[in-house]
Amino acid sequence: MQSATPKLIFDTDANDVLALLLLLASNEAELALITVTFGNTELKHAYTNVLKVYQLVLDHLERYPGDRNRFPNLKSKPKVCSGATGPLSGVPHLAQYFHGPDGLSDISTTHPEFNVRDPSVLSEVIEESETAAEDAIIELLSESPEDSVTVVAVGPLTNIARVWVKNPTALRRARRIVVMGGALDVPGNTSATAEFNFFADPQSAAMIMDAAKSESINLLLAPLDITTQHGIPYTHLIDPNLLSGPLVNGSELLQTMTPLRAFTSAFLYRVRRVTRELGIPDVFDMHDPLAVWAGLVHATLPRNAPLLEGWGVEKRDFVIECAGQYTKGMCVVDRRGTTDETGGVRSIDGVQGVDKAKTKPALGVKVLTSTPGLSTLENLMVEKLFWDLRKRTTELLFLLTTHPNKYMIFLLPNTTMLGSKSRNFGSKMVYGPTSSTAFKKHNSPALRPRPQPQPRALHSTGALDTGTAPLPSTATPLHKIIHGSIRAKGPISVAQYMQMCLSHPVEGYYMKGEPIGAQGDFVTSPEISQLFGELVGIWLVSQWLERGMNRPIQVVELGPGRGTLMDDMLRTIESIGQTRGRVQAVHLVETSAKLREEQKSRLSARIPAELLHWYDRIEDVPNNADVYTLLVAHEFFDAVPIHIIKTGQKTPGGFQEILVDIDRTAQILSDSSPSLVNNPSLLANNSPAKPQSPGFRYVLSGQSSPLARTLGESSARFSQVPEGHRIEVSPSSWAIVRGVGDLIGKGGGAGLVIDYGDDRAFGASFRGFHKHKLVDVFHQPGFCDLTANVDFAYLKEALKFTSTTSHGPITQHAFLAKMGAPIRLHRLLQGAKDDETRERLKKGAARLIDLAGMGGQYKVMGITSGEKQEQVYPFGYDSSERQTKQA
């Protein structure tokens, strides 16, 4: 009787620690046997590395026993057997120049804290056996039901070849053999033509590939062609402290990191150092984890069943060169103009030598050609192995904006001068307990003119006599609070200043007054015309009709303001027959108690009050896989706090942070650094009001802080910015849109982000507004709205970590026009009762689509569930609407 959980054999060499950790953290198959072969180092080191991984997991669980359920395969207690010490023919080819003597960049010598201390302790999780690897494989395959055991081989194929020679019948019983090896249409990684595993033992590889071509065994090959498409940046895998400093010893690492994170970060740090010296791209290719991933997800799939959705395979005919001086291990593909089994002529690219027709010969090896995607694999690795690192990185990026009062002091530059006394916090990040209160989002801000960059002096945070700086006579209550905070702790970040100005629980701008409308400081698109909300609603419904038919709907809005946009969308959704009655919940992310009451009053007249729900954070919105999500974030991200960093010439880390300090002179001087915004035009004839004793100034951190370096490295685009330029970065926006992607991606859904900004970074868009006038950002804190342009490219980078696809952005003019604004306006005019109403409708529509105003400055980005989709209407349908993309 076949076991409910299929079994898996892992044939590994020296450096496959991440692949083995992934197996231990998965439950799709029972890890029944681990066989070890030589690889880039000797067999004894490869065997020791397997034990080291188990020691690492036990060390981790000793400190964090609650994580035991994260390693379900630890209870499998597999047999561990030694195998081949070298290839079938010739001597072993070791790669110690790259991987070090131990196969793990010599971490055994540099960090002995991770070595196996007492092998006997491991007996509770593994069974060390004297049985030869090939005999153990034969025994397990012979004793198990046919078509029930998966073999994943990620080293030289010597052990597998020995099984084939000794007992081919046993190998034929395997459900599937997944092999990482070979290079068909891409260069090799050991020689110009060969991948390492095939190079290390070409005779074994040739033998097994021949068996696969004759279909004697069911083999799936994952060559470099597919694995090199799955490289994860080292910055996503290594602890941020190590990214910004030297590699310290293991004892010190273990004081600040979990054992799992300390080991993987130290190992990858050393690998990265070698790859940088060789000029290799700054990513860690997931060769072996990808093979494990393929084996696990198909472990329950019968031998002859097609691969799961998202996985692609095709047959390729090639032979392996076994004797060439320069081509040993090469996969020699016949690229001549022969005919394939379907009768089509094979088309060969004469320059690249690529089989353009992707010929599928009658006899060939099944080669993996596609997967569900890099982001899916990275999400899997994060979920299974790097969950605490992602949490740590997230904390590093977002503690400042979520808990400024508690953590700001630790995220400032290493040395902050307060008067004549220096406080040195060292180079490490200090973390306190995680609070349940996250970033408090404010309401939707509104249309604001884009200002000319305002000149400001940048000073060093050297010895600042802040204690003697007087308060301006016109200081607001919040001004006094910020002034006192800076006097006590030193300069604060722009993000903290923005956070306090907008969301201070008593004196914050959004916590009092009437910011929206003619009497407030801004007017939003939904307040101008119902046309806007109706067309947004139609687009969302169109996505449900295409992808989510017959599923209930939840509607989500971030920063709903007065509820006008949601009201218009709900009216539209209920007016369409297919979606009428489908809305089962409306979720509003809103922190203002006053606006919640206004939203409740407006929307409860539209739908039952029990369907309305309010939350402080996007993470709190229910994520139900059975419900289709329709989401909108209109004029939301422009009010999320930003940091401002500057590329510096004298800073080792490359980035310094621009901070806010007390201004003792209250003078505005010329800026010493250029901006990334080149003479932006205004939306209206507004000019900056002269600040009345602003009392604050920008200062430049004296040296690069870990936060500034992390922000600077958070997007590859930022490294392309010339020295001396500013970059506005909103890590909180990154986190929020990541939450949006997780919400839409899980159960399916669609969303729109509508804001002013562009598909690039900005450097001087931070500005203030008071009573529809452009003002200095330091003008009357607490009584002015603060905003910055949205970097849509940064949002799209965050969405790559979710199971969603981004579309656009395109201009609001293009979106509304293509969604039928003229037609809808015509019908509204036909139904208008008087000329005054018709005139109001015309002016409102014209204002929404005016390319010199809202229509051009506002951008619309679509988000749909699923990866690598084709563009959806109206995004990508008119090349004239493509926005210029620049860093």
**Whether 665 and 625 share a structural domain:** no
Helix/strand/coil for 72: helix
**Structural domain contains residue 2:** no
**Structural domain contains residue 748:** yes
Q: What is the pLDDT of residue 418?
A: 26
Q: Supply 445's token pair.
A: 């801000």
Average pLDDT on 264-290 reads 85
**Whether 597 and 691 share a structural domain:** no
Q: Which residue has the tokens 């009709």?
A: 545
Task: Judge whether 738 and 801 are in contact, CB under 8 Å.
Answer: yes
The mean of the pLDDT values for the chain is 79
**Whether 21 and 126 share a structural domain:** yes
Average pLDDT on 508-528 reads 57
**Whether 716 and 779 share a structural domain:** yes
Instruction: Report pLDDT digits (tens) over 64-97.
Output: 888 888 999 999 999 999 999 999 988 777 655 5
Q: Which of 631, 657, 672 is the last residue of a domain?
A: 631
Q: Is the pLDDT of residue 685 over 90?
A: no
Chain-centre distance for alpha carbon 187: 28
**Whether 424 and 509 share a structural domain:** yes
**Whether 349 and 474 share a structural domain:** no
Q: Supply 162's token pair.
A: 């020995």
The CA distance from 22 to 13, in Å, is 15
The most confident of 141-150, 371-380, 730-739, by mean pLDDT: 141-150
**Whether 125 and 150 share a structural domain:** yes
**Whether 708 and 825 share a structural domain:** yes
Q: Which residue has the tokens 């499998």?
A: 76
Q: What is the pLDDT of residue 44?
A: 87
Q: Which of 384, 407, 433 is the last residue of a domain?
A: 384
**Whether 379 and 393 share a structural domain:** no
Q: What is the pLDDT of residue 259?
A: 83
**Structural domain contains residue 790:** yes
Q: What is the pLDDT of residue 342?
A: 47
The CA distance from 558 to 488, in Å, is 35
**Structural domain contains residue 313:** no
Q: Supply 128's token pair.
A: 């060390």
Q: What is the pLDDT of residue 235?
A: 82
Which domain CATH number covers 572?
3.40.50.150
**Structural domain contains residue 875:** no
The CA distance from 616 to 594, in Å, is 14
Q: Which of 384, 399, 417 is the last residue of a domain?
A: 384
Instruction: Report pLDDT digits (tens) over 207-228.
Output: 999 999 988 899 999 999 999 9
Give CA separation, 737 vs 118, 779, 792, in Å.
46, 30, 10
Which domain CATH number covers 34?
3.90.245.10
Could you list the residue range(s) of the whole structural domain that residue 535 is in? 531-631
Q: Is the pLDDT of residue 414 over 50?
A: no
Which domain CATH number covers 824?
3.40.50
**Structural domain contains residue 479:** yes
Chain-centre distance for alpha carbon 572: 34
Q: Looking at the 3D structure of the chain, how many domains does it have?
A: 3
Q: Is the pLDDT of residue 796 over 80?
A: yes
Please report which confidence band the pLDDT of residue 154 belongs to, taking 50, 70 and 90 as the band edges: very high
Task: Judge whether 606 and 567 are in contact, CB under 8 Å.
Answer: yes
The most confident of 561-570, 718-727, 766-775, 831-840, by mean pLDDT: 561-570
**Whether 566 and 652 share a structural domain:** no
Q: Is the pLDDT of residue 349 over 60?
A: no
* Length of the chain, in residues: 887
**Whether 45 and 126 share a structural domain:** yes
Question: Which residue from 732, 848, 883, 758 is spatially nearest to 447, judged by alpha carbons?
Answer: 848
Q: What is the pLDDT of residue 671?
A: 33
Average pLDDT on 421-428 reads 26
**Whether 331 and 425 share a structural domain:** no
Instruction: Report pLDDT digits (tens) over 529-549.
Output: 788 888 999 999 999 988 767
The CA distance from 429 to 452, in Å, is 37
Average pLDDT on 361-369 reads 85
Q: Is the pLDDT of residue 828 over 50?
A: yes
